[in-house]
A and B are shown apart, each in its own frame.
Chain A
Amino acid sequence: MAELNIAERQAGDVTVLDMKGKITIGEGSVALRTAVRRMLEEGKKKILLNLAGVGYIDSSGIGELVSSYTAIEKDGGQLKLLNLTQKLQDLLTITKLLTVFDVYEAESEALNGFK
């Protein structure tokens, strides 16, 4: 089984990526990078990452979230995060990245948050 499985679905003009597994150095980080690049190539610029199934992330994975955010913003898009585990929320708090990302607990609220 892959380190990180990513399932794509559409909710209006927002692309939701349901992620399951680990976003860590190597396979997991690369899978996230590849998925986000593909979305941008396909012109999908409103992306919601559903992280409910992500049980572990390391500094490489957090770096990939930041890279995804900057790449999407640069392309005129928006990235938002949904369903962070408590541990991921703690890591984003200590790195002060919660001030950067839009984070939601309910998918309906996240979808309404896109302009």
Chain B
Amino acid sequence: MTVETTELKLPSRVEAIDEAATAVGGLVARWGIGEEAAFGIDMAVREALANAVIHGNKLDETRLVEINVKSSLDALEISVHDQGQGFNPGTISDPTKEENILKSSGRGIFFMRNFFDKVDWSISPEGGTTVRMIKRRANR
């Protein structure tokens, strides 16, 4: 099965998120997907990039965020790697619960999980966190 892989890097600046997400959006469009699903993927990618730039790399422009997009016939896999201290997704509470509903933050990961079929995190031995998001193509 043919797998296409594209790698992108961006500096840890909020302004770089839009450009990188737009580039990923172009790759997603080439993969071929409906408008609604593409919107969700774009949003989730922007949330992952914002987390990497702000929480991972702490807006330190000397640290890069790496994006890896793998597309095959059946699935799209997008990984975002930062050079931060590491992240434990277990510490994130459900923003839809009554006690959290009026919190001003904590919805980015919720959107990532909502719009992709699988989302997982790993911490590299060399440092940094990688979030991997997988979207399977709907029934062919």
Contacts and interface: CB of A to CB of B under 8 A. Distances in A.
Interface size class of A (residues with CB under 8 A): 20 to 34
Given A66-B103, A67-B104, A100-B101, A60 B50 contact: yes
Main secondary structure of the interface of B (DSSP, over half): helix
B86 interface: no
B102 A94 contact: no
Interface in B86-133: 95-96, 101-105, 107-108, 110-111, 114
Interface of B: 14-15, 17-18, 39, 43, 46-47, 50, 54, 95-96, 101-105, 107-108, 110-111, 114
29 contacts: A24-B18, A24-B46, A25-B50, A25-B54, A26-B14, A26-B15, A58-B46, A58-B108, A59-B47, A59-B105, A59-B107, A59-B108, A59-B111, A60-B105, A60-B108, A62-B107, A63-B103, A63-B105, A64-B104, A67-B104, A70-B104, A94-B114, A95-B95, A95-B107, A95-B110, A96-B101, A99-B101, A100-B101, A100-B102
